[in-house]
Amino acid sequence: MEKGSNRRVKTAIYLCAILMMGAIAVASNIASIAAAFPEAGQTKVVAYLISAPCLVVILVTLVTGKLMDFVPKKTLMIAGVLFWLVGGVLPYFMDSLGLILVMRLIFGVGVGIVQSLCPALVIENFEDPAERAKVMGNMTAFQMLGAIFFSLVSGNLGRISWNIAFLVHLIAMVSLIAAVTCIPYKQPVKTSSSGEKGKFRPTAMMWVWCAAFFVYMSGAQTYANFASSLITEQGLGDTVAAGYSLACFALGGFVMGFIFGKIADIFKKLTLTVGCVVLSFSFLIMTFAANLPMSYLGAFICGLAFSICMPCILNGAGGAVPQASSGMAVSIATCMQNAGMTVCPYLVTAGGAAFAASGKLSGTQGAMLFSIIILLVLAVAFTVIGFAGNKKTI
């Protein structure tokens, strides 16, 4: 029978994980927010509300990894949720885009802390590889559940008024209660076995995992960036249809999160290879979908594959270093994840131009096909890593 303390920490991790994709909480209302600030223009509004928090996350994940050496993870998680809550909700009361930017930067600090702490807590509290994989998969499921919640609730709130959409961030109150009551208070390990002050001890395999995460996200993020354009350019639907496509993606990720442990047991060291191949297949379906149901099917499969790859890579990075260094390893991996997401639109747009040069494909379709090449190359690389890497990783 599962220990009560394990159930409590799982509860905390899952309820905090719903905040990990918080940067998209107001994404569906960009148009209405831009209309409220016509002097700024949509590009500036997107930069303030979406891009700025993501850039902050890159820095904060590294800082958080270092802070884990000195500050209990419980304290850091509570601080992260508070930053997320305050920075997310306060724009509701503001009518200045400049002040909203300040709040979004604070919000980005919260996202960065939560993104680093959730997988670090899994690695710290669950040593058995099978159980760790299962909890990491469930964590990803709740992360996707948060994305579904944000896209549906925020979209409906935004119909009332542009600023009311920010109230969706009040969901963090639930996460805050879970962090306070369920996360165990553990002082960081201060010394190593030799008596020296504990310090970060990276390994070559950890850097391989982190670099792979950067490359993976530079291709895998293409769907989220171009989902709306892909559907509208092909005449399959409007922006509302694109919103449902993102919901199908999140639903796929939610489902896979709960069965990830079984998938990992079946494919073992080839789990990541399978994930990349399935993701490539989903991109191919969406690129040439003849109708909206086919596009939605591709989005659902995309979510399934995404939630295979994400926990595998985080497990790989965290498991490739000594336990005391796992927090920083996960933070670096998360930093590389966000860096890959930032680079993605520029890389795949340039790479996809070659496919679109003939005029038979749109630029968006070309970007999707170029991403498939990236993912298939990674499938080969992950096969090599799986058999040559740390035995503790998947």
Q: Quick: pLDDT tens for 276-295.
A: 999 999 999 988 888 889 98
CA–centroid distance for 87 within its chain:
19
- pLDDT band with cut points at 50, 70 and 90 for residue 230: confident
| Fold adopted by 1-188 | Growth Hormone; Chain: A; (1.20.1250)
Mean pLDDT of 31-50: 72
Report the predicted TM-score, pTM, of the whole model to 2 decimal places. Answer: 0.74
What is the residue type of 89? V
- pLDDT band with cut points at 50, 70 and 90 for residue 87: very high
Mean pLDDT of 54-71: 85
The reply to whether 199-394 shares the fold of 1-188 is yes
Yes or no: is domain 199-394 CATH 1.10.8.60?
no
CA distance 25 to 17: 14
Q: Where are the domains of the chain?
A: 1-188, 199-394
- pLDDT band with cut points at 50, 70 and 90 for residue 391: very low
Mean pLDDT, the chain, as a whole number?
83
**Residue 239 pLDDT > 90:** no
Six-digit token string for 7? 């159930």
Angle (deg, nearest 10), helices 4-17 and 129-149: 40
* Pairwise pLDDT comparison (30 vs 233), residue with the higher score: 233
Mean pLDDT of 213-230: 82
* Pairwise pLDDT comparison (298 vs 196), residue with the higher score: 298
Lowest-pLDDT choice from 63-72, 113-122, 236-245, 380-389:
236-245
**Residue 191 pLDDT > 70:** no
CA distance 17 to 98: 29
**Residue 1 pLDDT > 50:** no
Q: Which residue has the tokens 């809550």?
A: 85
Q: In 126-221, which ranges are continuous DSSP H helix?
A: 129-149, 155-160, 172-182, 204-220
**What percent of the chain stands above pLDDT 70?**
90
